[in-house]
Amino acid sequence: MLALLRGKVRGFLLTALDRLSTAQLEGFLEEAVARRANVLPSDEALSFLFRLDGRLYALEGTKAVEYDGGIHTKHRHMQYHNFFVGRIDAGERVLDIGCGIGALAYDVAIKAGAEVVGVDLNAYNIAQARERYAHPQVEYRVGDALQGLPDGFFDVVILSNVLEHLPERPAFLLRAQEVARPSRFLIRVPLFERDWRVPLKKELGVHWRLDPTHETEYTLESFAEEITTAGLEITHQEVRWGEIWAEVVPKK
């Protein structure tokens, strides 16, 4: 009975909120959140606010994809594709691990003139890639890079926001060197030190990662340590948009 009553109250409130204008809704929510935060101890108030922030961040990502017709606006705003394209030569063979829907693999083929094999664990992503980003110099495959990599040698291995999702990352990088024998890796990973709120969220026990599937998010020191452990060395590194963009090569 109590659950039924709660459901009716919830439905009534949602209907009432739907009738408000956007400006009215923003004002109401701001006041409601502030009232709740102001009656809580500072640690509980911060945890409450950070949990809301996390939910809004996820919703913002969904809407950003809708806004640009199915691809996140970060591709356009961050222009991180240029980092990869500018470090790949025409005719090189490139392995894009965790290629998603193929936007980066396509740009590497079009703009750098490379031959690209894109691999992703998600079959839906690969279906989207083949439909939206088909190109004669790009081959898309469903596959788990932790279980095995495509046959043949590659000049370049791309890991764009992929490495942070993997367990035992140095061991994976060592296997990738043995199998693909690339002359270099091009890597993009998120920084733990992107914002003061990140360590505070972690301290409070609130989810602090950009994505719940991340095994880690990096400091400059932890990234350098993993690269060294994997028998690689950094030849170029820049920090942009709260991320590390790096070119690394096998140690000679």
Tokens 């989207």 locate to 128
pLDDT digits (tens, 9 = 90+) for 72-126: 999 999 999 999 999 999 999 999 999 999 999 999 999 999 999 999 999 999 9
- Helix then strand count (H, E) for the chain reads 10, 7
Q: Mean per-residue pLDDT for 240-248?
A: 97
Single out the residue of 201, 243, 242, 200 nearest to residue 54, CA to CA: 201
Can you give the pLDDT at residue 24?
85
* Number of Cβ within a 10 Å radius of residue 112: 21
Q: For residues 151 and 177, is the Cβ–Cβ distance under 8 A?
A: no
pLDDT tens profile 128-161: 999 999 999 999 999 998 888 888 899 999 999 9
β-sheet bridge partners, residue 243: 190, 240
> What are the Cα distances from residue 155, in Å, to 59, 104, 142?
38, 17, 21
Which fold does the domain 74-250 belong to in CATH?
Answer: Rossmann fold (3.40.50)
By mean pLDDT, which of 53-57, 93-97, 243-247 is the weakest?
Answer: 53-57
Q: Kindly indicate the confidence band of residue 15, based on its pLDDT and cuts at 50, 70 and 90.
A: confident
The 10s digit of each residue's pLDDT in 193-222 is 999 999 999 999 999 999 899 999 999 999
Q: Which residues lie closer than 8 Å to 8 by C-beta, 6 or more apart?
A: none
Q: Which DSSP string corresponds to 6-17?
A: HHHHHHHHHHHH
Strands (DSSP E) contained in the chain are 93-97, 115-120, 138-142, 156-160, 184-190, 232-240, 243-250
pLDDT (0 to 100) of residue 3: 66
2 pLDDT band, cuts 50/70/90, is: low
- Summarised one tens digit per residue, pLDDT across range 177-186 is 999 999 999 9
17-26, 30-39, 49-58, 68-77, range with the lowest pLDDT: 17-26
